[in-house]
Structure 1
Amino acid sequence: MSTNNATDFGILLNVAFGTFKIQLHKRLAQEGFDDLGSSFGYVFRMLEGQPGTLKQVASGLGITAQGALKVINDMVAKGYVERHDEPGDGRIKRLALTPRALAAMAEAHRFHMQFEHDLAAKLGASQVAAMRSALEEIHARASADGMAQVRPF
């Protein structure tokens, strides 16, 4: 399918994601969430609806517990995560999202929907539906390839 002059598919995916992420972070900054770290969104999704532990966050991010602790400490300092004692075991701290984190997630969700809507307005709904179908197929293969699934909104 590729010609010598065509940009490699992987490059297109990478640039598309990078562009999406830049626009998302601009929107979030405009809405008062200008202090998000690069891993915050992944942690938001891991903890959405179910508090977790530092060990679970580290595993989900594919980093050490020490690395995850740095991310969590930053999120706590910025008001996105709070720690709670685990009933029956004071050594374990449950990590939960704060209302500020939930508000950031809601704004990100609105951006996701608007981005897709705007793309459909420019390219046509059927084009974007086909693109979504292709991306969903790639996403479905992610777990088979050993990549952790990102929970959908």
Structure 2
Amino acid sequence: MGLWKSLFGGGRPSKNDLVRSLAKQRVREDPMAAAMGFNENMIDGLGMMQLAGLPESGIATIVETFATLKKHGVPESEIFARIEAHRSSIGSGRIPNPLSLESYIRYRIDIEHNHGAPISEEFLAEAIRVCRQHFGC
């Protein structure tokens, strides 16, 4: 719960606030992002469409979709098939095996954000954990 409390003080943020806070956290902690010229002020200045293009938005959206469908009793294999059918318009590759929420998100981040600063495994794991907590899965 450390990152959650540090980001939100225990309150429940909106999805956009969640994405913005995760992006700021990445910029603060990732020397590659800083080396590419990203900083927290830039994140604050992003509009909703720009925010939606960040890797953190992809993470949050996949976790949100996974949580919603799981709560409705959809089997995990079908959840991933539905998400992939939607996101494959951006690009596709070989679905990870074994397939888990974490491996699927890494696969999508690698496809959708291969042009930017690499995202560390540590940050990715923490962002997924925070999003799981936010969306209740």
Same-fold status (TM-score > 0.5): no
User: Which of the pair has more CA radius of gyration?
Assistant: 1
More strand by percentage: 1
Which of the pair has the greater relative contact order for Cα pairs under 8 Å at 6+ separation?
Answer: 2
> Of Structure 1 and Structure 2, which has the larger fraction of its residues in helix?
2
